[in-house]
Amino acid sequence: MEEMIEPLDRVFLQLGPFTIYWYGVLIGLGVIIGYVMASRESVRRGMPKDTFSDFVMYVIPVAIIFARLYYVIFRWEQFADDPIRVFYIWEGGLAIHGALIGGVLTAYILTKKRQLSFWQLMDVAAPSILIGQAIGRWGNFMNQEVYGGPVTREFLEGLMLPEFIINQMYINGTYYHPTFLYESIWNFIGVVVLLLLRRVNLRRGELFFSYLIWYSIGRFFIEGMRLDNLMIGDSLRTAQIVSILLIVGALLLWWYRRAKGLATERYLDPHQPARTNGNKKKTKKKKKK
């Protein structure tokens, strides 16, 4: 006889015809905490005070759009018969890798337009991105998604998990691995690692590379446990392929920038706008006179 366990209510608040879901609330909470962290750190690093408040207005909407597009592309069969559901993002289905692609591209364009250091911005943002992902995974928990293979209740109890997590992992008559939790914990540990690496005073860009490597290692192994993967064909897990590409790409860029002398400034160096190159040229001309 099947156990009768009711899942947690996905609705956070009902306001007349408007429904606010826990999924959106938790993702929003991750964004807010990440923004506060990055904004304070940017001021400490001497960047313009409104840097992250301005960037968030562009980066967040683009990241959400890319996250949804990425998910829809690899799960089109889920929407083919009812395309309007593409817009139902409260049901879940925001891919982190898609958000990362959209966010980084937007940040690159905006830093070039505003003559800011792209690498400095991404270094400052790296722990914030990771803490946003760590908190956002609890939105997946509320939607009963991002879970692994079947396990027993005794296994989950052996992990010393609270009752509400164990019960929420009971889906359609079976208990499952809480892979959302494994990834969330990995990400929270990663935030601590990145904050410690700030003190090491790595060269610009390398803190962001460290984020890519840390997250991708965890995601690769945890993805292998999941059942609700985005797939390429019948056997290739999209997130594992992307994780490998990100690790290799980050390591190659790390080496290349050092080898070519492109990574001379360090994380704790004072902020200097891109225009300083032009100012230096003018100073040299004056000395020649």
CB within 8 Å of 136: residues ≥ 6 apart: 26, 27, 30, 96
Look at the chain and count its residues.
289
Q: Which stretches of 185-244 are assigned E, i.e. beta strand?
A: 231-232, 236-237
Dig out the tokens for 273 from the structure: 């706008």
137 is in an annotated binding site: yes
Nearest of 201, 209, 206, 211 to residue 269 by alpha carbon: 201
The 3-state DSSP class for residue 245 equals helix
Neighbours of 190 (CB within 10 A): 24
CB within 8 Å of 145: residues ≥ 6 apart: 92, 180, 228
Determine the Cα–Cα distance for residues 74 and 95; give it in Å rounded to an integer: 10
CB within 8 Å of 155: residues ≥ 6 apart: 175
Q: What are the DSSP calls for 5-29, one per residue?
A: -PPPPSEEEEETTEEEEHHHHHHHH
Determine the Cα–Cα distance for residues 37 and 125; give it in Å rounded to an integer: 8
Which H or E element spans position 170? strand 170-171
3-state percent breakdown (helix, strand, coil) of the chain, nearest 5? 65, 10, 25
C-alpha dist (Å) from residue 271 to 125, 166, 204: 15, 48, 11
Q: Which residues are annotated as a binding site?
A: 137
